[in-house]
Chain A
């Protein structure tokens, strides 16, 4: 029986090629997107699920309670040893620290090689907690020694080609020599470790006088601490026990720490601690569902519209012994055939799109991961679901057709039913498209707003270069002076970080004037030389810039600082005492800087102070002339290289850096653009199918109208009006929904664009235009046909 169904399904499909193509294409796009989304979601859901004891692995994180709560995925450097020695909850505890983009020098086949790599410093126990198997190693050596390292198979290949990696030595950041003592198997793709070079933690102790030491006074997010707990531990009890640590070690601090245990499974999914935002995953899932449903809607609309043409067949079948359920299953198998084809095309579509998808989302998804039991399960489920979703309603409608009427040819289109259902479904399709277009508009407006609003500092034509090692103050000054001599360079400043650059919070210990207590809030610090204000065009609202001095005696603060301590007149701040970082800074306030957006638009402007302290400077900012940029850049490189002979030169532009803050938003934007385009495309296919059907159905009417003197425009208007009505209804539903959703999204921003009514008007109008274009060809074709023809055929 089923074979027979399939045979007939095949012939039916071949007979109505256009409609079959529309159906298959619409569903194929839906399938293709679902497959990509499946890959994406399964990649994220499989994160670090391969560790043997993953349910007992935890990361220590910190809640910082000040005037508000900050969440940091780290603990003070001294935490690990304290937890190891004084508590009995864990089998193993391990620290690791990440260094990004750090220089390595080594010799390979008599050639000097310089590269920059991301790397990890880890305690040996790290490999006892996690399952990253060692492939080969020098058995007499261990990662507990300083200056030792492991590399992964891929990293070994990348660095040393086919040479044996074991025993190779490298200069790390021109400071320490490390030796490769082991090779690790490549990591699974879905794991938190991305760095293929792991260096012993003992080495870090020589390099970093903060993360490598035993202190409780501060934290750095480059350091993480993991533990493998003993079986059956009560996490709440541990957290309660840990409450005593801050009391013991940080009793005077206004920044009250609470240390907590984050389960490994939560690490990848908790945005508070730098994980992926699950909303993105949800958005993906829902959009996949949207696309599939639009495809299904096309199918339902076209099939129910076509039911009339099949009524004769159904009548005959019923008279010859078919029951309703036979017809239902017959129709469903047709849907199944279509879905299988669509699936095939969808897979091709997905594999073609995968590279661009990967580059957009910075993922490394592979089609090969589709060869899994889960995927086949997913596809089977999807096939069945789609067949049922799109096939069952038309199937029911068709099986209801009354044979006597069908056989006598007395049925008309309304008797085969579904016309009001079609309208509802088309409205739903339009509504989805309108929502997606409106979302695209709002997201792009927000990005535009964030990037193009006056941030309070100059970000155009500013080049940032690193200072790779500590220089004497005199040397640094000579370097900046030489850079300033370059004709294309207008201003130069050496600083810890640019506005919009990395965050440097000196947590507690801000004391103002003669107040006895430390303030509760945290402060950003911008250490920089005298030219900082000029280079970034920062405005002083009161006082003056600091004078040149060897130690910090004068500071600048921003207006926000005044607001935080309750002094609204900037003039009042001048001359007041200012103490920060536990007395490390003792100075007086000499100037107040106008607020500028140091963080991205999700963050409120923080209180900031600025001071000069050359030993902390990390980078140099150069305001350059827009003429002869390439010459200027070459000259900058030359001058830089004179001072830093052994280092790799890198630079970037400040405006790129500011835009990078909105990488995720840009991704959302591409996502909504692509998916609205797809939704509209599938929707158009459906509309095209429907208009073919409507025109066919109303041929006679068109003929009569033409004979009575109606023009092409009138006839186009006749069909257009029907669709426009539906679009308006869709707009009525879509506007509040998308308004609400986008308002929710914008809530994540402290500084945000407004949602205007015209955004929805634009969305609705663009759908109308697209619909008009879609339907005009068929309609105009019908309208210019000689009416004699259409009337004669009746």
Chain B
């Protein structure tokens, strides 16, 4: 078991009223799964993903990740946990504009305090694997959207996370680029990476082995 959410509730108080963002969510994820989360705008997909990614908290329920009770951890430990095991991919890519492709890839490794030679080897490995060696000295603004997302995924994978969380990874891409990214996800999943993605598109959702539908914060 990679992670387990039980009776998760999350709400905000607005004008004396409690508005639920997530309502009674229960989810078990085993290693090697590929899950697609679907639902209309405002159904809580991103919030759900952020809770899983520990970027956001929740108000009620329990969350176990690799046998650790996330809801009982202090912020600092929680951060340590997700930094070690979870990689994030965003719709807007979120590369750092001031860094080259190579430097963007290297950044997470810096925070892990790896040695220079080691970092170089890992970055070279990734550039190779994603076929972007020729682009290593370019800045994000010099790349197409698809290429930027490729770098984004490479960066998420460089520290070998157990879980890859992707929030509308193809949302800003044209259909051909989108398809290539989804093929890549499929291949990564076959290599053993657990993936949870949020998507609007039925077609992309179909790449997942399991589909979860959300409506108004509830699983249906």
Residues of B within 8 A of A321 (CB): 83, 108, 111-112, 159
- The reply to whether A317 and B107 form a contact with Cβ atoms under 8 Å apart is yes
- Would you give the shortest CB distance from B49 to chain A, in whole angstroms? 10
- The reply to whether A407 and B90 form a contact with Cβ atoms under 8 Å apart is yes
Closest to B109 in A: A321
Stretch at the interface among B25-33, B94-102, B194-202, B211-219: B94-102
A316 to B103, CA, bound (A): 14
Q: Is A323 an interface residue (CB 8 A)?
A: yes
Residues of A within 8 A of B92 (CB): 407
- The reply to whether B98 and A15 form a contact with Cβ atoms under 8 Å apart is yes
Chain B interface, number of residues (Cβ within 8 angstroms): 27
Instruction: From A8, A15, A312, give the contact of B99 (CB < 8 A).
Output: A8
B50, B92, B96, B159: residue with the most chain A Cβ atoms closer than 10 Å: B96
- The reply to whether A404 and B56 form a contact with Cβ atoms under 8 Å apart is yes
CB-contacts of B20-47 with A (<8 A)? 46
- Would you give the shortest CB distance from A320 to chain B, in whole angstroms? 5
Q: Is B110 an interface residue (CB 8 A)?
A: yes
A207 to B113, CA, bound (A): 82
A312 to B113, CA, bound (A): 23
A313 to B140, CA, bound (A): 13
Closest to A15 in B: B98
Chain A interface, number of residues (Cβ within 8 angstroms): 23
Closest to B156 in A: A320
Q: Is A515 an interface residue (CB 8 A)?
A: no
Instruction: From B76, B96, B110, give the contact of A313 (CB < 8 A).
Output: B96
A100 to B155, CA, bound (A): 80
Closest to B111 in A: A321
CB-contacts of B96-144 with A (<8 A)? 96-99, 103, 106-108, 110-113
Q: Is B184 an interface residue (CB 8 A)?
A: no
Closest to A323 in B: B79
Closest to B56 in A: A404
CB-contacts of A374-424 with B (<8 A)? 403-404, 407-408
Residues of A within 8 A of B50 (CB): 404
Q: Is B55 an interface residue (CB 8 A)?
A: yes
Closest to B93 in A: A316
- Would you give the shortest CB distance from A330 to chain B, in whole angstroms? 10
Instruction: From A7, A15, A312, A404, give the contact of B94 (CB < 8 A).
Output: A312
Q: Is A315 an interface residue (CB 8 A)?
A: yes
Closest to A9 in B: B98
Instruction: From B88, B106, B111, give the contact of A322 (CB < 8 A).
Output: B111
A695 to B36, CA, bound (A): 44
- The reply to whether A326 and B111 form a contact with Cβ atoms under 8 Å apart is yes
Residues of B within 8 A of A4 (CB): 103, 106-107, 110
- Known A407-B90, A407-B94; contact A320-B55, beta-carbon cutoff 8 A: no
- Would you give the shortest CB distance from A78 to chain B, in whole angstroms? 79
Q: Is A12 an interface residue (CB 8 A)?
A: yes
Residues of B within 8 A of A792 (CB): none
- Would you give the shortest CB distance from A9 to chain B, in whole angstroms? 10
Residues of B within 8 A of A108 (CB): none
Residues of B within 8 A of A473 (CB): none
A690 to B155, CA, bound (A): 36
- The reply to whether B88 and A319 form a contact with Cβ atoms under 8 Å apart is yes
Q: Is A1 an interface residue (CB 8 A)?
A: yes
Residues of B within 8 A of A11 (CB): 98-99
- Would you give the shortest CB distance from A677 to chain B, in whole angstroms? 37
A319, A322, A403: residue with the most chain B Cβ atoms closer than 10 Å: A319
Residues of B within 8 A of A1 (CB): 110, 113
A404 to B52, CA, bound (A): 13
Instruction: From A12, A320, A323, give the contact of B155 (CB < 8 A).
Output: A320
- A310-346: CB near B (< 8 Å → 1, else 0) gives 0011011111111100100000000000000000000
A15, A316, A317, A408: residue with the most chain B Cβ atoms closer than 10 Å: A316
Residues of A within 8 A of B106 (CB): 4
- The reply to whether B110 and A316 form a contact with Cβ atoms under 8 Å apart is no
B53, B76, B83: residue with the most chain A Cβ atoms closer than 10 Å: B83
Residues of A within 8 A of B46 (CB): 408
A319 to B49, CA, bound (A): 13
Residues of A within 8 A of B76 (CB): 323
Closest to A409 in B: B92
* Additional 14 contacts, C-beta under 8 A, given A313-B97, A319-B53: A7-B103, A11-B99, A15-B98, A312-B94, A313-B96, A319-B88, A320-B107, A321-B108, A321-B111, A321-B159, A323-B111, A403-B55, A404-B50, A404-B55
Residues of B within 8 A of A (CB): 46, 50, 53, 55-56, 76, 79, 83, 88, 90, 92, 94-99, 103, 106-108, 110-113, 155, 159
A–B Cβ pairs within 8 angstroms, 17 of them: A1-B110, A4-B103, A15-B98, A312-B94, A313-B98, A317-B96, A317-B111, A318-B79, A320-B107, A320-B108, A320-B155, A321-B83, A321-B159, A322-B111, A323-B76, A404-B50, A407-B90
List the 4 closest pairs (A to B, CB-CB), nearest first.
A321-B111, A321-B83, A11-B98, A320-B108
